Amino acid sequence: MARELGWYASFSVAFGFVSIATGIFTTYGAVLATSGPRGIWAWPISVIGQLSVALIFGALAARIPISGYSYQWVSRIVGPVWGWIMGWISFAFLGVVLVAVDYTIASTILPELFQYVGTTQNAWVITAAVVLLQSVLVAASTRTTHRVNNVAVTVQLVGMITLTVLLFAVGAFTGKLDFAHLFEAGSVPESGYYALGGATDAGPFALAFLLGAFTIVGFESAANLAEETKDPARVIPKAMVQAVISLGVLGFLFLVAITAAAGRIDGAEASATPVATVITAVLGSVVGKILLVLVVVSIFSCGLVITLSGTRLVYAMSRDERFPGWQLLKRIDRRTATPLNASVFMMLIAQIILAVFSSSTDALFQLFSAGTLLPALIYAGTVAMYAAKRRSLPASQGFSLGRWEIPVLVVAAVWLAYELLIFRDASFRAPWIYVLVLFAIGAVYFIGLIIRRGRSGLTMPDMADVDRALDTADTAGRTPADTATEANAR
């Protein structure tokens, strides 16, 4: 593959996947309900925690600048069995976060934009249509998908900055900003607000960390374009870290503006769509709706990138003959030059997940909870792998933590352990059930895979360009297993 992508393209992928517009619009209402306005102060701490994870991923990407998600990295560093497990978790995450992102459009933005009453039924139908449209675009053209994302990231940057500035300026001019509101607990009891909670419940402030933990994820997707990026060992770590920092700062300023304005708007905290309600109340219906359209564009683009990432992961695992139905899912359509079957499969999985969750009146909370739990598991596994294997990894080619490596590892480990402990709360029962069911399905398939082929049949090329290796195998008429064996022999 030609190395033609520069810093902005790499930054756009990381920024577009994270999408603060998506994360905040999705989770802000839940934070107000569980933690009150004061819950926004958990955001800076979450950003520091996720930044430590991004730094470790950057150090890893600089050592192994290879296409693919954690499935590819872990398969080559630890072994194919652990790599498959990480790939399956990543697949589960991409499926549920796609639905969570698209459900945001249907449940929080469009009702405010077009002034209709949102229900579980119309949210289901609209989300299903959005998922279908994104899948059609991804299946039709990967190049078009990247172009849409680049434009949408620019729109999101301009739109969110403009939106934040206008909220502060207009809110101050009209007297609709109440900064004292930032420190209030709202309807949440003051007693035990900062408590850690018990064995099956997390404290109110602890639950507020899910806002940042759900939003600041997906930055590692920039590493998926390593083999198409110029000087990837330097560019990709820089892009990931800068995306997290810029999103963290911009996101917090936006949260401050929204929360300060909410204190002077009657019914804002009780609204099913508090962010959209505040924007419309402060900026007026015309300007508010224009900016909400920009937010819809940003969220749609985020879902588009997730669809592309999920399709690529399914295709990559199928190409290695390690995914259910790999015989069909590894095929490339001659007309579109895309993994059409994998695109259709990802769309069907998203529709099934949507059907499971959408009958609940609390569907958005359940979706974003599952979409936070799964990446936390992925990050924890990858950080643990890096900590265990850091001395045996290849030398860094452009980015190193140096003497800060141990402190960053400690911060990341403490942060991820704390984040995972939040999910002991009884309100996360449904996400855990989803995760366990997906794990059980994966375990059954993987056991069968081991029985049929054995561990030796799962060997992967060691630090090799799997895309180029398998393209060569297809041209020569060899199997992926033959190519893997030859790569390992070299």
pLDDT at 276: 82
Position 429 confidence tier, pLDDT thresholds 50, 70, 90: confident
Mean pLDDT of 64-77: 76
pLDDT at 159: 82
| pLDDT tens readout for residues 378-407 | 999 999 988 988 888 777 777 888 889 999
Residue 234 reports pLDDT greater than 50: yes
Top-confidence residue, 439 or 48: 48
Mean pLDDT of 192-219: 88
Residue 151 reports pLDDT greater than 50: yes
pLDDT at 338: 80
Overall fold of domain 7-451: Amino acid/polyamine transporter I (1.20.1740)
Top-confidence residue, 7 or 352: 352
Top-confidence residue, 120 or 249: 249
| pLDDT tens readout for residues 236-261 | 889 899 989 999 999 999 999 999 99
Residue 303 reports pLDDT greater than 80: yes
pLDDT at 39: 94
| pLDDT tens readout for residues 262-296 | 988 887 777 777 888 898 889 888 877 887 888 88
Whether the CB-CB separation of 15 and 151 falls below 8 Å is answered with: no
For 117, the token pair is 């009453």
Top-confidence residue, 148 or 346: 346
pLDDT at 1: 42
pLDDT at 468: 47
Give the residue extent of every domain in the chain.
Answer: 7-451, 459-490
pLDDT at 473: 42
Residue 410 reports pLDDT greater than 90: yes
pLDDT at 38: 94
Position 16 confidence tier, pLDDT thresholds 50, 70, 90: confident
pLDDT at 456: 64
Mean pLDDT of 220-225: 77
| pLDDT tens readout for residues 458-472 | 766 544 444 444 344
| pLDDT tens readout for residues 79-97 | 888 888 888 888 988 888 8
Percent of the chain predicted with pLDDT > 90:
23
pLDDT at 260: 94
Whether the CB-CB separation of 24 and 213 falls below 8 Å is answered with: no
